[in-house]
Amino acid sequence: MSHGRGKSDCCVVPEKLPNKAASEIPVAAEVVEGRRQAKGNAVAARMSRRLGREYDMGTALDGIRQTAKGRPGAKFTTLMHHIYAVDRLRAAYLVLERKAAAGVDGETWQSYGLDLEARLLDLSDRLARGAYRLQPVRRVYIDKADGSKRPLGVPALEDKLVQVATVEVLNAIYEQDFVGFSYGFRPGKSVHNALDAVSVGIERRKGSWILDADISKFYDTIEHDWLIRFIEHRVADTRVVRLIKK
């Protein structure tokens, strides 16, 4: 098992991406051919002013984590700048699946990366100004073992970036609330960790049964209004709430 037997409750949250990831970013044609790249546009100038001081990815969310852990009832009112930080959007790009299918925009990981910095600046600017608009989700169907079809939604690439960045910021809050034996969709935890915990529990604790359950069409039937109300218990940044509603 990836984290060692009996280590399933250990929190493994990487703060920094490995350096080698940067080498995988597609290089713009101007760089390959030795030509000078085009000068920055008005968007780049605005973002340079807005993000005049360096954004430290390693420590930017530390204050949020500490407050969330020390004050369980605290509400966070200024989170949006963490989401639209160019460094965070770039980190989100680097963790995306390279071979994932394109959404309605037709953008792949490789094609978006050819002009990555300019596109990230533009995306960051739109998020900061409230001008960002999500694109429709492309619907595809995959075969299930019983012969039926499972519907899947494929978001546009920029929407994936925003989703990953938003989740990372929300994780800084909600990871402080989750209990150690919760493994679903959490950073540093996986199915293997859950299986490890079950195995150790069977050997070390008295128990005679295991419940294997699955909620049918769970994500299709989530009540979004209640979900937003739940988020608002901790997130009071109206711009972030509006972004999640989209």
Q: Does residue 2 lie in a domain region? A: no
Contact 241/231 with Cβ under 8 angstroms? yes
Q: Which domain holds residue 43?
A: 38-177+211-245
Q: Which residue has the higher pLDDT, 122 or 53?
A: 122
Q: Does residue 9 lie in a domain region? A: no
DSSP labels, 106-173: ---HHHHHTTHHHHHHHHHHHHHHT---PPPPEEEEEE-TTS-EEEEEE--HHHHHHHHHHHHHHHHH
Please write the tens of the pLDDT for every residue from 4-50: 555 544 433 333 444 444 445 554 433 333 333 444 444 444 444 44
C-alpha span between 216 and 44 (Å, rounded): 47
Q: Does residue 77 lie in a domain region? A: yes
Q: Does residue 229 lie in a domain region? A: yes
Backbone region of residue 217 per phi and psi (left: phi > 0; alpha: psi in -120 to 50; beta: other values): left
Q: Does residue 132 lie in a domain region? A: yes
C-alpha span between 65 and 173 (Å, rounded): 6
Q: Report which secondary-structure segment, H or E, holds 229.
A: helix 224-231
* Buried residues in 194-215 as b, exposed as e (16+ CB within 10 A): eebbeeeeeeeeeeeeeeeeee
Q: Does residue 134 lie in a domain region? A: yes
Q: Does residue 203 lie in a domain region? A: no
- The pLDDT of residue 52 is 41
**Distance set, CA 1 to CA 8, 41, 149 (Å):** 9, 49, 32
pLDDT category at 180 given cuts 50, 70, 90 is confident
pLDDT category at 179 given cuts 50, 70, 90 is confident
Question: Which of 53, 127, 61 shows the shortest CA–CA distance to 89?
Answer: 127
Please write the tens of the pLDDT for every residue from 97-149: 999 999 999 999 999 999 999 999 999 999 999 999 999 999 999 898 888 88
- The pLDDT of residue 181 is 84
Q: Structural domain tally of the chain?
A: 1
Q: Does residue 189 lie in a domain region? A: no
- The pLDDT of residue 219 is 81
Q: Which residue has the higher pLDDT, 154 or 53?
A: 154
Over residues 166-185, the mean pLDDT reads 92
pTM for the structure as a whole:
0.74
Residue 184 pLDDT greater than 90, yes or no: no
Q: Write the single-letter amino acid at 21.
A: A
Please write the tens of the pLDDT for every residue from 186-239: 888 988 999 898 888 888 877 778 888 888 888 888 899 999 999 999 999 999
Other beta carbons less than 10 A from residue 21's beta carbon: 14
Please write the tens of the pLDDT for every residue from 71-84: 999 999 999 999 99
Contact 196/1 with Cβ under 8 angstroms? yes
- The pLDDT of residue 185 is 86
